[in-house]
Amino acid sequence: MDLTTLNQEQLAAVRHADGPLLLLAGAGSGKTRVITFRIGYLIRQRGVLPAQLLAVTFTNKAAKEMKERVEELVGKRQCRGMIISTFHSLCVRILKEDIERLGYKKNFSIYGTADQVRLIKDLMQAVNVDGKKYDAERIQWMISDAKNRLIPPESYTVRYQDEYEYLAAEVYPKYQKALKAFNAIDFDDIIMLTVRLFREHPDVLEKYQQRFRYLMVDEYQDTNAAQYLLLRSLAGERRNLCVVGDDDQSIYGWRGADLGNILDFEKDFPGAAVIRLEQNYRSTGNILAAANAVIGNNRQRKEKALWTSGDKGRPIELVRCMDEEDEARVVMERIHAERFRHELQYREFAILYRTNVQSRAFEEQLRYENIPYVLIGGQQFFDRKEVKDAVAYLKVLVNRRDEVNLLRILNYPKRGIGETTADRLIRASAEGERPLWEVLCAAGEIEDLGEKAQEAVSGFVALMERYAQRFARTPNLADTAREFFAEIKLEDEIYRGTDDPKKARRRVENLEEVVNAMASYLEREEKPSLSGFLEKVSLLDEDRPDRDSKEKKLERDAVTLMSLHSSKGLEYPVVFMVGMEEEFLPHKNVLNQGADVEEERRLCYVGITRAQRQLVLTGAAQRKKYGQLQPRIPSRFLQEIPGELLDSQTSEGRPPASEEEQETMANNFFSGIRAMLGD
């Protein structure tokens, strides 16, 4: 291993011996490089067995990239047995071995958000709550938030006297009981149940503490309470825990991330070594100076400042536009000019905004200018109805007690099991306190079920049992799935239920991609199984076939449009941060709630540090709201950037309706600029 390519701080981090280590890795400071070199150093120089190493991160893409880099450093053979995975993949692996200790069977199902919401809606109806009046997704979010804070149903309390909290308190215990009855867990259970397994069965915890002697965690600032306790448990008395993160890039508080985990690391692990990675290898000096100036206004942070050995680069452009259309036009002009001047490709430009609704004007202008673009965000592949229907069948083949998915497919495509028949079957299941599948298998015993309905149910049961056996026996899951979908006529049902032929074709192609995903899974797995494939699907694995996934989109030669949240971890030669106004950044929800704007400032910092060579900040003097133009106030974060770093300009926007209106707007606009720059 050639360690001469590392700077002094990186080298110290790689060579750190035993004990807790906090790496404060600023944006663009090469943190992934440090983690991979540290893993390689432990294997090559310290003689640590690969199986004793555990590296955890948040996305499958990051885990895959890290694993590939380590294999390049030390060779594939030397990496056998090493685990580099996401939190959820790690915990599924643990639960697969020992979940029976908690009263579940090993072939448990993992419910995604849509399945969770559907079950919650059913439970709301069971407690006589109007599902149309109350938002089941909000209840699901509240239960998810409780699980991320490790609050079980019996400990859930109403804190704010909110009617939704009262409803969540009533539904949560029933929801958890129903999940267990279906031998299913949801995404949040994956970590919560693992923590519970460790707490209730110390021998299981000791097994993993003995196995994983060195732990490394990426993006530590994004961990929640459950993830923190999981890591602390695994670290045990050895405390060989190396965490890498940047408190200045903690932007997921709304998702449960606890900034205190990284800020209090030295309190939680006394004697921890702290190394700051402040040398930036991404951006110019001016961009870093602006980022440091903005984030320096936050009080809840570890002191650090990014620097570069490179040049200062061009000034940061601040362009104030007349309205949203003028703003979009200004951005297009800059794209054309930069491409011509510096021979850039379209993929080297990014337009970043605080909220997705801001993309409209830019999309329209990009289409008008015939500039290719990709929009990051929107519905994911496995959330699409036709895909969820196909996957629901596969889930039931693996776990016949998965009643949410069983009810989803019972009469889809239609097979003579209508609502009346389904209602009788569900009633028989409830009255006899028997699983629904058991009732289906004995449909002939239900007296008020007609002969045709009994035949339809028996045919469905026979079909599912036959294919369950085939999937268990065959090594070629993809071919079997293709035959299965053809026999149940899913494709025919899509064409029958979709008015637009083009849309129907796209939906059928999505169905085909499920089979393609299975084929890809077969190529990568030594011991493939249907349950293993479904596990990958539930964990949103990188193997998903979504041709419109974020990774696939970013490969195209096209301008990228995305939210500031989505931009984290990415970098572009030219970045446009648009809508730099109060109520956009910081967001109006934060301002209306009187909340601390520090997370919004961190979001601004993340956006600034995406830029490598050129950063353009734009805002509008007015915007349409319900069809009426309203004046806008420049973002307070602009005022925090030193004036000498900025090249402030006004656009040549279209004039307003009258000269008087134009003069008033110009005065307001320039006074805002002057106030920001302190002139």
Catalytic residues: 31-32, 218-219, 249, 610
Alpha-carbon Rg of the chain, whole angstroms?
28
Q: Which of 376, 382, 443, 435 is nearest to 415 (CA)?
A: 443
Burial class (CB in 10 A: 0-12, 13-18, 19+), 235: buried
Is residue 312 marked as binding?
Answer: no
DSSP label at residue 154: G
Is residue 29 marked as binding?
Answer: yes
Give the burial string for 575-612 (b: 16+ CB within 10 Å, else e).
bbbbbbbbbbbbbeebeeeeeebbbbbbbbbbbbbbbb
**What strands lie across the sheet with 316-321, from one edge to the other?**
373-375, 559-563, 349-353, 572-577, 611-620, 316-321, 646-650
Note whether 381 and 510 are within 8 A (CB).
yes
Rounded CA-CA distance 53/50 in Å is 5
Gap between the terminal Cα atoms of the chain: 54
The per-type count for the chain, helices as H runs and strands as E runs, is 30, 17
Note whether 596 and 259 are within 8 A (CB).
no
Note whether 615 and 577 are within 8 A (CB).
yes
- Cα–Cα separations (whole angstroms), residue 127 to 114, 115, 432: 20, 19, 20
Residue-by-residue DSSP string for 183-244: TEEEHHHHHHHHHHHHHH-HHHHHHHHHH--EEEESSGGG--HHHHHHHHHHHTTTT-EEEE
Q: Is 278 helix (H, G, I), strand (E, B) or coil?
A: coil
Sign of CA pseudo-dihedral 22, 26, 27, 29: negative
Report the 10 Å Cβ neighbour count for 206. Answer: 12
Rounded CA-CA distance 642/425 in Å is 70
Is residue 459 marked as binding?
Answer: no
Burial class (CB in 10 A: 0-12, 13-18, 19+), 163: exposed
Is residue 32 marked as binding?
Answer: yes
Burial class (CB in 10 A: 0-12, 13-18, 19+), 25: buried
Rounded CA-CA distance 63/227 in Å is 16
Distance of CA 372 to the CA centre of its chain: 25
Is residue 40 marked as binding?
Answer: no
Is residue 30 marked as binding?
Answer: yes
Is residue 25 marked as binding?
Answer: yes
**Preceding amide of 152 cis, omega within 30:** no
- Cα–Cα separations (whole angstroms), residue 118 to 123, 186, 308, 405: 9, 12, 51, 10
Region label for 256, one of left (φ > 0), alpha (ψ between -120 and 50) or beta (otherwise): left
Secondary element (H or E) of residue 615: strand 611-620
Amino acid at 220: Y
Query: Do the strands 628-631 and 622-625 form a parallel or antiparallel pair, or are they unpaired?
Result: antiparallel
Q: Which residue positions form the known binding site for ATP?
A: 25-32
